[in-house]
Amino acid sequence: MELKGKNVFITGSTRGIGWGLAEAFAKEGCNIVLNGRGEIDPALIEQIKAFGVCCIAVSGDIADFEIAGAMIKEVEAQLGTVDILINNAGITNDKLVLRMTGEEFQKVVDINLGGTFNMTQHVLKKMMKQRSGAIINMASVSGLMGNLGQANYAASKAGVVGFTKSVAREVATRGITVNAIAPGFIETDMTDCLSDKVKEAATANIPLQRFGQVAEVAQAAIFLAKHPYITGQVLNVDGGMVMQG
């Protein structure tokens, strides 16, 4: 897919990987829709516009089905279409499963997996009619290999992988691709809060011996968005943590 002029909706794009995605797609000439739960700093919109593209912001909680639908409608009213949806927003709430409450489990699943479902269903209605589009879902190596203290998060991300492959099969005949990216440890606010001890232990398990950069995840998303013959795949951007074939 030629990316220039395409409209890209990135959930959770006020910081971290989502913000890196916004900058990278803007550099490719895409119009960007920023999203976060709270009000979006107008300075972020200006920074994206400086790439010479259009940028709008819609705030709202992706875990709420009605709000997700209203956000997609608002963007379609302003830009006409959403050509690429990146379901990036996600949270963690780490705790050993024996100490985890049902609410702590459910909230992570509702945002990471439920939010991905909500946004995808709403965006697909128009994409199906257009007979084109790309959806990229942010999974995680935790969803592929499990992780201590992340039963809720790993379950939600494993769910994202199954969801990605199922939807890819359902919409393939309409020219829509659906893929996932499974990042390993990437330097963002989400990993900043880890203790030095945890960071050292994590690095020791990464064949490339370092955390990844946001821009490295963004380049993987650009690769997937450009390739209409790749669908239903999980692309690991993890320094070699998970090797599968």
Among residues 9, 25, 117, 185, the one that binds ligand NAI under rule CB under 6 A: 185
Task: Determine what percent of the chain falls in helix, strand and coil, rounding each to the nearest 5.
Answer: 50, 15, 35
Instruction: In whole angstroms, give the CA distance from residue 40 to residue 32.
Output: 13
Q: Which of 51, 117, 153, 185 is catalytic?
A: 153
Q: What is the CA radius of gyration of the chain?
A: 17
Please, which residue, 51 or 211, has the CB nearer to ligand NAI?
211
CB of 81 closer than 8 Å to CB of 128? no
Binding-site size for ligand NAI (CB under 6 A) equals 28
Torsion-angle region of residue 237: left (phi > 0), alpha (psi -120 to 50) or beta? beta
Under rule CB under 6 A, residue 191 binds ligand NAI: yes
- CA nearest 23: which of 48, 49, 55? 48
| Rounded distance between C-alpha atoms, residue 90 and residue 113, angstroms | 9
- Which residue of 7, 31, 88, 177 would you call a contact of ligand NAI, by CB under 6 A? 88
Closest distance of CB 149 from ligand NAI, Å = 14
User: What is the nearest approach in angstroms of ligand NAI to the Cβ of residue 73?
Assistant: 16
Q: How far is the CB of 100 from ligand NAI (least distance, A)?
A: 17
CA angle 211, 179, 245 (to 5 degrees): 70
To ligand NAI, the closest distance from the beta carbon of 161 in angstroms equals 12
Out of 154, 183, 220, 222, which residue is the one contacting ligand NAI (CB under 6 A)?
Answer: 183
Stretch that binds ligand NAI, among 99-107, 170-178, 187-195, 224-232 (CB under 6 A): 187-195
| Count of other CB atoms within 10 angstroms of residue 227 | 14
Query: Do 185 and 209 contact (CB within 8 A), yes or no?
Result: no
The answer to whether 37 contacts ligand NAI (rule: CB under 6 A) is yes
For position 16 contacting ligand NAI by CB under 6 A, the verdict is yes
Residue from 62, 75, 119, 241 binding ligand NAI (CB under 6 A): 62
Q: Note whether 13 and 213 are within 8 A (CB).
A: no
* Residue 229 bears catalytic tag: no
Of 123, 3, 112, 101, nearest in space to 51 by CA: 3
The interface region with ligand NAI, picked from 32-40, 47-55, 124-132, 162-170 by CB under 6 A, is 32-40
Cα separation, 14 vs 66, whole angstroms: 21
| Token pair for 26 | 């803007």
Closest distance of CB 35 from ligand NAI, Å: 6
Name which position in 30, 71, 90, 117 contacts ligand NAI (CB under 6 A): 90
| Binding region for ligand NAI (CB under 6 A) | 11-12, 14-18, 35-37, 61-63, 88-91, 111, 115, 138, 140, 183, 185-186, 188-191
Q: Which residues are catalytically annotated?
A: 153
